[in-house]
Amino acid sequence: MKIETLARKMLTGLALSLAALAVQAAGQGAGGSQAYEAPLPPGLATAKDMCALLPCKDVFPGATSFSERMGQPPYVEAYGGEDGKQKLGYVMLSTDITDTPAYSGKPVVTLIGMDTEGKYVGVKVIKHSEPILLLGIPESALLDFNAQYIGKSVKDKIEVGQTRPDEGVLGVDAISGATVTVIAQNQVITTSGAAVARQVGIIEPLVREPVRYVEPAAGQPLPDWDTLVKQGAIGKLVVKPEQVGLEKSNVPFIELWFGSLNSPVVGPALLGEDTWKNLMGRMKEGQNAIFIIRTAGAESFKGSGFVRGGIYDRVQVRQDNDIFTFKDSDAVNLYTLKAKGAPKFSESSIFIVRSPAFSAAYPWKLIFLGNKRDPATGQRVFTVFDKGYWLPEQYLVGGHPKIAVPEATWVKVWKQRAPQIVLFALLLVAVTVVYALRDHLTRRSTHKNKWPVNSFKFTFWAIFIFWVGFGLMAQPSVTQVLTWLHSLLFKWEWDLFLSDPFLFLYWIFIFVTIFLFGRGLFCGWTCPFGSIQEGLHKIAGATPLKRYQFLPPKWLHDRLKWIKYAVFFGLVVVSLFSMGLAEKLAEVEPFKTTFLVGITKRSWPFATFVLVILGLSIFIERPYCKYVCPLGASIAMPTTFRWFGLRRKADCNTCKACAKGCGALAIDADGRIDQRECMHCMDCMILYTDSAGCPPLVKERKARERAGEPMTAIARDGYYIPIVPIEEDRQRLNAQKLLSIKPDPRWPSKRAHPSVENLHGVRRLLGEVVEHLWPFSREGWQASHVVVALGVAAALGATLVWLLAAGGSASPMLVIGVWFGWSVFEVLVRFKSKPYVKDGPWWGSVWRQATVMDMISYVGFKNLLIGAALFWLLAFTGLWTLA
């Protein structure tokens, strides 16, 4: 009773720390972060007086007033001095210039101050969506990073990393654990500064190679409309109603066709020879003409608020970081298109790009500026829709010029850390290979000498704790699982996952090894925080503290182990409504405090939480892994389908030797291993072939010694190779006797034999499909007509919602909710009609009776894949816009 009381007290302490942690996490981020998902002022994107809405003085000390927005891309001038009218410099909002995404896939909205000489005088983050800066790293770290730019010039070549004087590179220090974020932030600051500096003459404007057009061959017919569209000489930009917050419709919000007109082939083909020559005659050298027509939709691309002398506020042209807007004097009427097959249009215009910085030889984008209605609040948010265009190279002398495309942020990260990435990949391969050879290691070990196994395991623990955890800060987290689930259902972006190479490789390792061996290889051998817990337990076991170490009672463990699944499912549900809140609540994981920030740098609830866990680890083996870890729960579920499990023999259903020594409490009274709880310590596998430790083997060895019989090797089934015909072997005869009266410990549950097991070929394949998609059995269909009727109704309801989604009448949340409801119903139905799951690979032929978690894992994983496939199909076919 003393042990049970102590366990309860310790677990109560853990629960109190969790509660305090949840309160702290729900309130604010580490360091009191106020910029995470901070609401931006309404109308910020179009407000002329930007500094009335934003703290411009924070990024330009000494300024007393600011101008309205000016230029393209926009900026404001800062004034000060004795009379308050002296121009001191410029202030710019990063999202006016670039939308470079950070690790979250969203840009960090940054306010930047720059003096008249091009030196940065202030940088302030207005809004970010980086969870790592919410809970993992204090916002002060980002402030310190931004402060490094103060005094540096927009003319400098600034990169994250070391200064390289021989290459003219100024380095800025990264934030440990947020490499991707700071590389993106460096690009935001330098790109924004350079764009404004070019406009105001601080640095020379970007000069692009002037265009040279191919002249038409004599007698060659001009291309028609369809030909120009196929060639790419005409572009198309379509905005759908649902993209601006309106109800879905087959009629576009606006449909625009556009293209360059200066080419002596394309221009005459579209306008006719005379009209084109007249247009070119009205333009100066270096100027460019583009046409825009509206063929569908009621929205105007000219803008309803246009006044003479003003600008067209709905369309722009962007080339790299240069944005070109149009005044009324830049517009020429377009009455008709001469190209054969040209569509009818309801609005049209020709716009002249007069800036010498523009060159039609290079790619550019047409930008349509719209207002998106937020269905939740009814507010209108400024939104940009764009479409790329590059005049086909067949119309350019020499073809397309070579252009340097900026490397993606993730590419820069991979290049910068290439040696470490290679070493990390080799480490993961080494762990996998060593574990794959576990039989050779366990056969060389005994219950008194486990070093052939432990020498590898303990070495991996040390490497993953100190190098991977504290060094690379590559501790996997449940937030990545949530991100993966959302990406799978809504929008998959490889850049998001590639941006952290160590976590990317780590998750490949996790996914592969889960389905090969189960969660135990990651959790038991490589998880940095799990390794710390068990390492502390092992160290304490070599001291007088060993007398206080204990295993919780099995009955208590079997109840507490469900907490981690509840935590995981809770986070998944919350994430569907608010990913930001889910990321805050995910601080139930102590990983960020331990590896990214440090216990001493966190507020007391976070520090106390980690210390309680580590303190408990001295007395209880891996308490956090067993009972709280949502990451462990998320990868325990697919462990149901692992291909290879740990071996058992028939005698395990009566022998308790392995169960008594199982620190994970993963072996039940019948000797069966719960693969979802097993940490793969290998102790039971060592006993499995230990002739001096495994009771059945000890018994056989002694019998042979008394009878003078020779010793033979131990076979894969855990018994000595027989020295007589196998049907007379006493070991296996005893095993058959045990199996006739006790459960077979070689399987997690009793074997099942559904009718599909007897099918072959195509019939077997079709039977498998029916097994997965139809939860009712023939017997269940006949036994309960009410349940079947409810099932059919639920299936039809779920199908109807998917059809409504295809028609644009159902939101993603409605579909997910209905699909979740169907999954719960399917779990209940299958327990009555098909209460079995496959053991091992899905294409295998071994079935067994399902436990509750078996069925939840099977149905949940299967329906997640089906749901994701349907989401992607609807998005791919254009029937549904998920954005």
Contacting residues for 37 by C-beta, under 8 A, at least 6 apart: 127, 128, 129, 580
Confirm whether pTM is higher than 0.85.
Answer: no
3 state DSSP class of 728 = helix
Structure tokens at 739: 């199996």
- Beta strand 157-160 with 169-172 is parallel
Q: Is the pLDDT of residue 127 over 80?
A: yes
Q: What is the pLDDT, as a whole number, of residue 23?
A: 41
Torsional class of 128: left (φ above 0), alpha (ψ -120 to 50), beta (otherwise): beta
When pLDDT is averaged across residues 749-774 and rounded to a whole number, the result is: 87
When pLDDT is averaged across residues 306-323 and rounded to a whole number, the result is: 70
When pLDDT is averaged across residues 498-511 and rounded to a whole number, the result is: 92
3 state DSSP class of 55 = coil
Please tell me the number of Cα atoms within 13 Å of 522 on its side-chain side.
27
Alpha-helix residue ranges (DSSP H) falling in 28-138? 56-59
HEC per residue, 160-225 = ECCCEHHHCEEEECCCCCCHHHHHHHHHHHHHHHHHHHHHHCCCCCCCCCCCCECCCCCCCCCCCH
Q: Is the pLDDT of residue 85 over 70?
A: yes
For 17-43, write each residue's pLDDT tens digit. Answer: 444 444 444 444 333 346 777 788 888
Element (H, E) at 92: strand 86-93
> CB 64: neighbour CB atoms within 10 A?
15
When pLDDT is averaged across residues 598-607 and rounded to a whole number, the result is: 84
Q: What residue type is 799 in one-letter code?
A: T
3 state DSSP class of 619 = helix
Grade residue 10 by pLDDT with cuts at 50, 70 and 90. Answer: very low
Q: What is the pLDDT, as a whole number, of residue 378?
A: 58
CB 691 within 8 Å of CB 698 = yes
Q: Is the pLDDT of residue 198 over 90?
A: no
Q: Give yes or no for a cis peptide into 73 (omega within 30° of 0).
A: yes
3 state DSSP class of 258 = strand
CB 54 within 8 Å of CB 111 = yes
For 321-360, write each residue's pLDDT tens digit. Answer: 677 878 888 899 999 999 999 999 999 999 999 888 889 9
The backbone torsions φ and ψ at residue 686, rounded to the nearest 5 degrees and listed phi first, read -70, -45
Q: What is the pLDDT, as a whole number, of residue 30?
A: 34
3 state DSSP class of 386 = strand
The chain-wide mean pLDDT, for the chain, equals 84
Q: What is the pLDDT, as a whole number, of residue 3?
A: 47
Contacting residues for 432 by C-beta, under 8 A, at least 6 apart: 509, 512, 513, 521
Dmax (CA) of the chain: 114
Cα angle: 746, vertex 747, 753; to 5 degrees: 125
Of 323, 29, 342, residue with least CA distance to 195: 323
Q: What is the pLDDT, as a whole number, of residue 806?
A: 66
Please tell me the number of Cα atoms within 13 Å of 676 on its side-chain side.
24
When pLDDT is averaged across residues 771-791 and rounded to a whole number, the result is: 71
When pLDDT is averaged across residues 187-204 and rounded to a whole number, the result is: 87
For 360-416, write each residue's pLDDT tens digit. Answer: 999 999 988 777 766 555 556 667 788 999 999 999 998 998 887 777 778 888 988
Q: What is the pLDDT, as a whole number, of residue 568?
A: 93
**Low-confidence winner among 77-81, 127-131, 736-740 (lowest mean pLDDT):** 127-131
- Return the beta strands (E) in 522-610 as ranges: none
Distance between start and end Cα atoms, the chain: 57
Q: What is the pLDDT, as a whole number, of residue 328?
A: 81
Of 744, 737, 749, residue with least CA distance to 652: 744
Contacting residues for 459 by C-beta, under 8 A, at least 6 apart: none
Grade residue 178 by pLDDT with cuts at 50, 70 and 90. Answer: low
For 416-445, write each residue's pLDDT tens digit. Answer: 889 999 999 999 999 999 999 999 999 999
When pLDDT is averaged across residues 701-706 and rounded to a whole number, the result is: 92
Structure tokens at 617: 């680890």
Q: What are the Cα distances from residue 219, in Å, to 215, 216, 271, 395?
A: 12, 8, 18, 17
For the chain, counts of helices (H) and of strands (E): 32, 19
Determine the angle formed by the axes of helices 451-462 and 528-541, rounding to 10 degrees.
130
CB 184 within 8 Å of CB 100 = yes
Grade residue 534 by pLDDT with cuts at 50, 70 and 90. Answer: very high
> CB 483: neighbour CB atoms within 10 A?
21
3 state DSSP class of 729 = coil
Q: What is the pLDDT, as a whole number, of residue 728?
A: 77
The backbone torsions φ and ψ at residue 89, rounded to the nearest 5 degrees and listed phi first, read 165, -150
Grade residue 131 by pLDDT with cuts at 50, 70 and 90. Answer: low
